[in-house]
Amino acid sequence: MMLFLLLVALTSAAADDLPPTCSRPVYCNSTLLHHIQMARLYPDSKTFVDLQMRNDENTTLAAFEELFDRTNGSPSKEELRKFVADYFDETSELEEWTPNDYKENPPFLNNIRDERFREFAKGLNDIWPTIARRVKPSVLEKPDQFSLVPLTHGFIVPGGRFKEIYYWDAYWIIEGLLITDMHETAKGMIENLIELLHKFGHIPNGSRWYYQERSQPPLLAAMMERYYEKTKDIKFIKKYISSLEKEINYWLDTQLIAFNKDDRVFTLLRYYTPSAGPRPESYYEDYDLAQKLPNKDPNDVYTELKSAAESGWDFSSRWFISENGDNSGNLTNLNTTNVIPVDLNAIFAGALQTTANFHAILNNPRKAAHWGYMAEQWRSSIEHALWDEEDGIWHDYDIVNNKPRRYFYTSNLAPLWMNAVDQRFLAKHGARVLEYLHKSEGIEFPGGVPVSLANTGEQWDFPNAWPPEVSIFINGIQNIGSEESSALATKLAQVWVRACYKGFSETKQMFEKYDALNPGKFGGGGEYTVQAGFGWSNGVILEFLDMYGDKLTSEDTSEVTE
């Protein structure tokens, strides 16, 4: 009966071969969603899909069908506004929550040499309760009326418009929580992600139904490793080791691709999220872009957009492949699915090795050997397919033009960050990596290391410096293991902490991203305004103050006030 259970007639017949964005048509693929989002009732497309229904889904769809028929398929903006007011509720699905393990003065503060930085760290620790949330009982009672996926444990939200748990954000939030001795909160966040894994078969981008068909960088193993390092909770590892294997198998089953390089065939991972229709939380923007590309199947456009969103780098020149084969252009040049990403494969190699290590701890030698062998093979493929001998660094690989993408991106150092590099190879080439970095011009900015040197206006490009990428970059340099690399990592950490301290001192806020040209100022570009909060930004500063707190100073003085 319901027109609304069909995919909106905005895609080609190829849509029949693709799954819907999610199994909740009100929030994903329906005429209701199409008309409301295209009417631009809200400046941010995410606002509507975060509303809860006042009634069940069938009642809501039937009411819209009646409106649609009554208006001959052309409801006015005011009629749509009234419909939303009648059938949706803006009340938050979350309630404030103070974690039981929150401490006002966690012990690690005593290890920070600089008094100002010590106060900075305390200020960041004080933010945790302000962005701690748990799901209201009403969501658990009537889960079908929400786009939010209910979760058992309380969690830390990123901040701003991001009012749910996000997959890769959680890694740096958990790092910060562990540093501030909030072990139970960190454990609960990991268990929430594992709940999502078992509900969907993979961990989605975030805990909303409209993220159902896409994941994010597979950092579950790394989170569990950090938790185990802090707590030695072997029961936790034993309970969830099979969940790690489940996630690994998801990526192997869905994202593998074979490609040729130098007369050899390699099999590695890419980001690939084929599903029908625009991203619900960016519906208007995606639909509008597809209309500007009449010679392309709209679902091909949407797949590229969703695949970039799966990477966490939405959007960046990193995913542009122009007609000339370079990284110039704009969103019309998105070709995410034909780029073999360094960071994804490094993270996956790390997950394989961590799973092997956990099995060894659990005295499962056969499984430890199995996953260890796979990790070794993955590291070998990264070395031979993604290491660029000419530049002395790892690069993403373009499988359309069969060539490395020789551009500065912070993700180039991900193999070092994830220890996905053979030690003999590292001993031979570590100095070359440092040489590349000094020649790159990417490490001399006063506000931190930018994610790229391409100024495209996209938010994952110059001059934006993103906390998780700064963490990947600096930890990668540190893991080279030489005196020179350690000195450079410390220097870059100092630049970053000082920049964020400056911004925090002026605004009493941490931001989602920063401007590498202007220390402490927030970044720009993208589909939405900069968000304050901010979970991963707090986590990265706490990480650096934990690692380098005995060395970093807030000013260039020979002595620091104690």
Query: What is the three-class DSSP state of 89?
Result: strand
Tokens coding 29: 């693929």
The answer, yes or no, to whether residue 16 has pLDDT greater than 60, is: no
> What does DSSP assign to residue 519?
T
Report residue 260: phi and psi, to 5°.
-100, 140
- DSSP per-residue codes, 451-468: SBS---S-TTSTTEE-HH
Element (H, E) at 429: helix 423-440
**Contact assessment for residue 336 and residue 253, using Cβ atoms and an 8 Å cutoff:** no
Per-residue pLDDT tens over the stretch 406-440: 999 999 999 999 999 999 999 999 999 999 999 99
CB atoms within 10 A of CB 389: 9
Query: Which candidate in 314, 391, 458, 469 is catalytic?
Result: 314
CA distance 40 to 286: 13
Average pLDDT value for the chain: 94
Per-residue pLDDT tens over the stretch 340-361: 999 999 999 999 999 999 999 9
**Type of residue found at 457:** G
Per-residue pLDDT tens over the stretch 52-105: 999 999 999 999 999 999 999 999 999 999 999 999 999 999 999 999 999 999
Length of the chain: 562
pLDDT at 229: 98
Cα–Cα separations (whole angstroms), residue 216 to 26, 79, 167, 306, 540: 24, 37, 6, 11, 19
CA distance 73 to 251: 41
Using pLDDT thresholds of 50, 70 and 90, give the confidence band for residue 6.
very low
pTM for this entry: 0.95
- Please confirm, yes or no, whether 512 is among the known catalytic residues: yes
CA distance 93 to 140: 10
Query: Which candidate in 213, 512, 543, 546 is catalytic?
Result: 512
Over residues 255-276, the mean pLDDT reads 97
Tell me which residue has tokens 């909106």: 8
**Contact assessment for residue 232 and residue 189, using Cβ atoms and an 8 Å cutoff:** no
CA distance 292 to 460: 22
CA distance 32 to 27: 9
The answer, yes or no, to whether residue 555 has pLDDT greater than 70, is: yes
Element (H, E) at 515: strand 514-515
Residues in CB range of 504: below 8 A, 6 or more apart: 120, 123, 124, 510, 520
CA distance 199 to 334: 31
Tokens coding 305: 């957009």
- DSSP per-residue codes, 39-100: TTSSSSTHHHHTSEESS-HHHHHHHHHHHHHHTTT---HHHHHHHHHHHEE---SEEE---T
Helix axes 31-38, 57-70, angle to 10 degrees: 60
Closest listed residue to residue 215, CA positions, set 183, 178, 172, 246: 246
Over residues 373-397, the mean pLDDT reads 98
Three-state SS letters, 259-320: EEECCEEEEEECCCCCCECCCHHHHHHHHHHHHCCCCCCHHHHHHHHHHHHHHCCCCCHHHE
- Please confirm, yes or no, whether 389 is among the known catalytic residues: no
The answer, yes or no, to whether residue 526 has pLDDT greater than 90, is: no
